[in-house]
Amino acid sequence: MSLPVISVAQMREWEESTWCTPVTECEVMANAGRAVARHALAMTAPGSNILVLAGKGHNGDDARLASGSLADRKVRLLNIVDPAKSLEELRIELERVPCLLIDGLFGVGINRPLNHEWIELIQEINVSGIPVLAIDVPSGLNADSGETEGAAVYAQTTVTFGAPKRGQLYPGSFPFVGSLVVEPEIGLVRCPFSSELQWTEASDFKQFPPARRVDGHKGTFGHVCILAGSRGYHGAAVLAARAALRARPGLVSLYTHPDCYIPVASQLQAAMVHSWTPEAAFSESCSAVVVGPGLAGPELGEPMKEAARELWQSFPMPVVFDASALDWLKPGTTPLNSRRVITPHPGEAARLLQTTTEVIQTNRVAALRELSSRYGNCWVVLKGHQTMVGRTSGDIYVNPSGNPFMAQGGTGDILSGYLGGLLAQPRLQANPLRTIRYGVWRHGASADSLLQNRLDWTTEDLAAAIGT
């Protein structure tokens, strides 16, 4: 199940409530050490050199315990209490160019500026360029504020325990935290806290989507209609349609600008492709609409924009707006109980709220809430690292899947098409939040799966892989 995002004080209270049970601190630390070791083994090959840096606190204990579970690796453990005395030894170890460095110098308790000796030591780690696996939080990063205490280790991956900490979700902390992995099962009692921010877990989607009826047919599983594509941007329409097909609705129809009909239709077999005109009407069987991928051409006129706005206001089934079509929306209410979704990246969110990307990133939660309120309490997928899903009130879910290689043109078109294909299905419309969260998670998880096999994957590969 999803995990609350908590403060350091709450983490301490959670630990103390655990120590009041038969569970011991040593047992929990041993579990944490083994969890770190599992990730270190996954990041290296047998025979690799791993350098473990252990401080004097419990974070250092976790590091020392992890070093004993790194089978088939050449491990060197460096205990650091006095950074000035250990700096030269660290430099010698770094000259050996280990494949991985495990950072166990400071934990989540750090809340005061580091002295210049510690800063120099951390800078030595950072300039080495060696991949870092940080334990709980990168050393030097304040786990509440997300700011550095003078300096912080740049981690490739951070393994945090129990639940995510608030500071790990602030954009300013992203370069230090790297990929955040949560290990919730280390022996602590059940978390006694709740939060408006919830960390999505893969286990949230067990038995989802539900099994299909054996006697189902095309009409059983919905019909998504997509309005997409303009001159010079026809590829976005193709990607959205392919992704919608991967969501497995019964039917996919694509309506595109007449200038794009031939290049779009020639690349799609299972989707039905139509030229859009002001007189065009979506099929009566349409159960969800996607508007936006590739609608950036100068030839698009006001009739298409008005038609899109009318869909947003009046269509009784789910509607997803993405990309250029977001700029066509007008603030205001939507029909009661309507299922409306917008999928802006931070730049698009800034345009919609008439502010800057920096303001959006400074407080992504507030931006998401304001977007939803301004556009009829719609569901908002605020894209980017740790994509957020939510609306005006209620929980906001933070997505953990995905990687930097998704920063390619077309990945957003794939997401909107995939969401539309899911939301077109009657059984998935009953809980739109879970369906949207699943689509966002699966989108990133598919990219992560591609990355395990190759670094040069493209947007077309993601369109073929999503849903697998």
The whole-number pLDDT of residue 335 equals 85
**How would you write the pLDDT of the chain (468 residues) with one tens digit per residue?**
899 999 999 999 999 999 999 999 999 999 999 999 999 999 999 999 999 999 999 999 999 999 999 999 999 999 999 999 999 999 999 999 999 999 999 999 998 999 999 999 999 999 999 999 999 999 999 999 999 999 999 999 999 999 999 999 999 999 999 999 999 999 999 999 999 999 999 999 999 999 998 999 999 999 999 999 999 999 999 999 999 999 999 999 999 999 999 999 999 999 999 999 988 888 889 999 999 999 998 888 899 999 999 999 999 999 999 999 999 999 999 888 889 999 999 999 999 999 999 999 999 999 999 999 999 999 999 999 999 999 999 999 999 999 999 999 999 999 999 999 999 999 999 999 999 999 999 999 999 999 998 889 999 999 999 988
Which structural domains are found in the chain, ordered by start? 3-193 (3.40.50.10260), 218-465 (3.40.1190.20)
CB 183, CB 157: distance < 8 Å: no
Token pair belonging to 282: 């979506």
The whole-number pLDDT of residue 384 equals 96
Token pair belonging to 14: 């959670």
d(CA 15, CA 23): 10
Report the relative pairing of strands 179-183 and 319-321 from DSSP bridges: unpaired
Token pair belonging to 207: 């038995």
Report the SS3 class of residue 2: coil
The whole-number pLDDT of residue 297 equals 85
The whole-number pLDDT of residue 336 equals 81
Closest CA to 242 of 434, 407, 428, 465: 465
Tell me the CA end-to-end span of the chain in Å, nearest whole number: 22
DSSP 440: H
Structure confidence by residue, pLDDT tens digits, 171-186: 999 999 999 999 999 9
d(CA 198, CA 206): 17
Closest CA to 323 of 376, 365, 381, 283: 381
CB 251, CB 187: distance < 8 Å: no
d(CA 61, CA 26): 10
How buried is 213 (Cβ within 10 angstroms: 0-12 exposed, 13-18 middle, 19+ buried)? exposed
The whole-number pLDDT of residue 416 equals 98
Contacts of 404 (CB under 8 A, 6+ apart): none
The whole-number pLDDT of residue 92 equals 97
The whole-number pLDDT of residue 298 equals 83
pTM of the entire predicted model: 0.95
Angle between helices 116-128 and 83-95 (to 10 degrees): 10
Which of 374-397 are b and which e, b meaning 16 or more Cβ less than 10 Å from the residue's Cβ? Answer: bbbbbbbbbbbbbbbbbbbeebbb
Q: Give percent above pLDDT 90 in the chain.
A: 94
DSSP 337: T
The whole-number pLDDT of residue 106 equals 97
Structure confidence by residue, pLDDT tens digits, 255-296: 999 999 999 999 999 999 999 998 888 888 999 999 999 999
